[in-house]
Amino acid sequence: MSSLSQKRIILGITGGIAAYKSAEITRRLQDEGAEVRVVMSESAQEFIRPLTLQALSGNPVHTDLLDPEAEAAMGHIELARWADLVLIAPATANFVATLNQGSANDLMSSICLATTAPVMIAPAMNQAMWSNSASQQNIENLKQREVLILEPDNGIQACGDVGPGRLPQPETIVQQVASVFKTGEMTGKKVVITAGPTREAIDPVRYISNHSSGKMGYAIADAMIDAGAEVTLISGPVSLKQPDRCTLVSVTSAHEMLEAATKAVQGTDIFISAAAVADYYITETSDQKIKKKTDKMTLNLAKTPDIVSIVKENNPKLFVLGFAAETQKVEQYAREKLASKNLDAIVANDVSREDIGFNSDDNEALWVEQESTHHFSKCNKAQLARDLVALLATKLEL
């Protein structure tokens, strides 16, 4: 079950060009099981119409500090009491300053002052405004008051400038909201996770590898951390940000990953092999770049070590969850791997599908055990990771 299931989220929208992303944020919050009520500033309504947010959220959009239809016309107090979390996305420079000053001159700032729920803001503004010392001091002051800050992304801005100040993508914002509500299902457990591809060198500039992005393994690490586990993440080369509050071990080759995993699993409870380990490595690598002198080149390949099998064989009491990326006969091949590798369970998916394959933000999978199969419908990988952790917790009777 999602950590946002049944959660009540107020989404505050202030007047910046990034307000157009609020529609997608609303939808994704609801996809995660949250109930959303939208509050809009007057200027936000110039960028996106309240009717759009009302249609998406299924609730009236709130715009006025004194609402004649609210109980005793005190809508801000009712909303402040209702919320499990208040999210302001985007938060303009003006709103950040208003919140820092403790003003309550509109509905949104009043809710932030009146609520006892966590307040999270996602600043979005011109890069020079974000870098200005006044804005940075406002942000530091809010952090000291335990306001949760989502750092803006770098990139090209609507004005043409390049730098920090862009609103993070909706899926990133929703993941951060979900992380506030920890499940605690894995409290006290030690978990080792492998993620990403491995690279097997041909020479100093070339290698063989695969298309794995590492997104699924990293999402599982985030979900395990949110569930209270102590996580070691062994990662091949990826372009992903390290999850907070975990130990990251960076490796390149399959042999390096095996060595790291062998050390890390000592004294742990769960090993999750989500990495896409290359099946073969080059037996004779060149110390120098191989020159393109012939039409053909022969490489001598040998099988890489079967990391998940070796870990299970050496640690028979360890719960080991494998992954199978298939392009056909997904369940059949998963069951064959489950048996041949002596795993406790295996998660399989069809990577031939463009909508859930390598590098996709979404996934659809089967959890396969000796006596049963559980289907996870298509959803984003962060949600699937949380669902996997929840199911794993039931299997371990935590």
Q: In the prediction, which pLDDT does 155 show?
A: 83
> What's the pTM value of the predicted model, to 2 decimals?
0.64
Q: Which residues are catalytic?
A: 159
Read off the tokens for 87: 């999210």
Residue with tokens 């071990």: 249
- What DSSP string describes 233-299? EEE-S---PPPTTSEEEE--SHHHHHHHHHHHTTT-SEEEE--B--SEEESS--SSPPP--SS----
- What DSSP string describes 343-373? -SEEEEEETTSTTTSTT-SEEEEEEE-SS-E
Read off the tokens for 379: 């959803």
* Residue 212 CA neighbour count, 13 Å, CB half: 27
The H or E element containing residue 76 is helix 75-82
Q: Sign of the CA dihedral 180, 185, 188, 192?
A: negative
The three-class DSSP label of residue 200 is strand
Instruction: Tell me the pLDDT of the chain (398 aa) as tens digits.
Output: 456 877 899 999 999 899 999 999 999 999 888 899 999 999 999 999 999 999 999 999 998 876 655 544 445 688 888 898 999 999 999 999 999 999 888 899 999 999 989 999 999 999 999 999 999 999 999 999 999 999 998 888 777 788 888 999 999 999 899 888 866 789 889 999 999 999 999 999 999 999 999 999 999 999 998 888 999 999 999 999 888 789 999 999 999 999 999 999 999 999 999 999 999 999 999 999 999 988 898 999 999 999 999 999 999 999 999 999 899 999 999 999 999 999 999 999 998 888 887 878 889 999 999 989 999 988 888 889 989 999 999 988 74
Burial letters 253-286, b for 16+ CB under 10 A, else e: bbebbbbbbeebbeebbbbbbbbbbbeebbeeee
207, 267, 265: which is closest to 236 by C-alpha? Answer: 207
Q: Spell out the domains of the chain, with CATH numbers in brackets.
A: 8-180 (3.40.50.1950), 190-395 (3.40.50.10300)
**DSSP state at residue 137:** H
The H or E element containing residue 338 is helix 330-340
Read off the tokens for 315: 């640690």
208, 229, 351: which is closest to 278 by C-alpha? Answer: 208
Residue with tokens 């031939």: 352
